[in-house]
Amino acid sequence: DLIIYSSREFGFVELDDAYSTGSSLMPQKKNPDSLELIRGKTGRVVGSLAGLLTTLKGQPSTYNKDSQEDKEPLFDTVDTLSMTLPIAAGVIKTLKVNPGRIYDAMDSLMLATELADYLVDKGLPFREAHHLVGQIVQQAIAIDQPLYSFPLAAYKKFSDLFDRDVHERLTFNRAADRRDSLGGTSENAVKAQIELLRDLIEFDFDEEVAD
């Protein structure tokens, strides 16, 4: 995603010059070489895992001589990760995010699910809400009007369940914050995921095994 988002077509993020190179053909182009090479290295690591699992598959109990084949993929993976992880950390640490470009790219149709959930909260079964919102979206596209500026009177033509509070639901920030479950997009959920990852990084496996 970062590779795509760093392209000029998106412009959501910008890689530091230390982790990108110029194009040999196009003077204006900045190539995300670091990310592309990291992505390539993942294939090498996954390949080592597949090879090791194939070697171990079907072995009987106790030691088998073919187990010595685990050394090469293991050591190669350690070397690969030792090289790529610091680069990945550097990319993230120096990454420049462009919130303005991200907000400009947001389309009100992304809020269609919010509209369906709104109707469900009003008591309408989701299947009916889904069909109804599909009709609303078609009209919004036809008249080129964002869902969040669709008049209440226009909403009521589709269902009397729509009320004045419908526009309060149709904001991007609120849509994200409503997803507050594990792995969700709300601020609290994202912070919880970050803390979980930090705990995994700081976890002392040697101490856990000793205990």
Residue 66: CATH number of its domain: 1.20.200.10
Residues 170 and 135 placed together within one structural domain of the fold? yes
* Cβ contact 133:116 at 8 Å: yes
Judge if 30 and 115 occupy the same domain. no
What's the pLDDT score for residue 51?
92
| Residue numbers of the chain with a pLDDT score lower than 50 | none
Give the pTM.
Answer: 0.73
Question: According to the model, what pLDDT value does residue 205 have?
Answer: 57
Residues 70 and 122 in one domain: no
- 14 and 99: one domain? yes
Please tell me the distance from the alpha carbon of residue 137 to that of residue 144, in angstroms, as a whole number: 10
Asked if residue 76 lies in contact with residue 52, where contact means CB atoms within 8 angstroms, the answer is: no
**209, part of any domain:** no
Task: Assess whether 24 and 113 both reside in one domain.
Answer: no
Q: What is the CATH number of the domain that holds 113?
A: 1.10.40.30
Per-residue model confidence (pLDDT) at position 211? 57
Whether residues 94 and 118 fall in one domain: no
Secondary structure (3-state) at 170: coil
What's the rounded Cα separation, in Å, for the pair 139 and 132?
A: 11
Domain that holds residue 135: 106-178
Indicate whether 94 belongs to any domain: yes
Boundary residue ending a domain (83, 104, 125): 104
Indicate the residue type of 82.
S
Domain assignment of residue 173, yes or no:
yes
**Domain presence at residue 197:** no
Residue 36 lies in a domain: yes
Residue by residue, DSSP assigns 43-83 as HHHHHHHHHHHHHHTT--SS--GGGGGGHHHHHHHHHHHHH
- pLDDT, residue 206, reads 60
Maximum CA pair distance of the chain? 77
pLDDT reported for residue 111: 93
Give me 160's structure tokens.
């009397």
Query: What's the domain count of the chain?
Result: 2
Query: DSSP label at 11?
Result: -
**Residue 2 burial class via C-beta count within 10 angstroms: exposed 0-12, middle 13-18, buried 19 and up:** middle
Which residues, at least 6 apart from 167, have a Cβ–Cβ distance to it below 8 Å?
Answer: 148, 152
Asked whether residue 42 falls in the same domain as residue 9, the answer is: yes
What does 110-168 look like in DSSP terms, one character per residue?
A: GGHHHHHHHHHHTT--HHHHHHHHHHHHHHHHHHT--GGGS-HHHHHTT-TT--TTHHH
Please classify residue 133 by burial: count the beta carbons closer than 10 Å to its beta carbon, then call 0-12 exposed, 13-18 middle and 19+ buried: buried
Looking at the fold, whether 6 and 70 belong to one and the same domain comes out as: yes
Residue 196 domain-assigned? no
Q: Are residues 125 and 80 in the same domain?
A: no
- For residues 29 and 88, state if they share a domain: yes
Q: Residue 4: its pLDDT value, please?
A: 93
188 within domain boundaries: no
Q: Which pLDDT belongs to residue 204?
A: 65
Give the gyration radius of the chain's Cα atoms: 25
* Backbone phi and psi for residue 109, each to the nearest 5 degrees, phi listed first: -65, -15
| Per-residue confidence (pLDDT) for residue 161, from 0 to 100 | 94
Residues 86 and 117 in one domain: no
Say yes or no: 11 and 97 in one domain.
Answer: yes
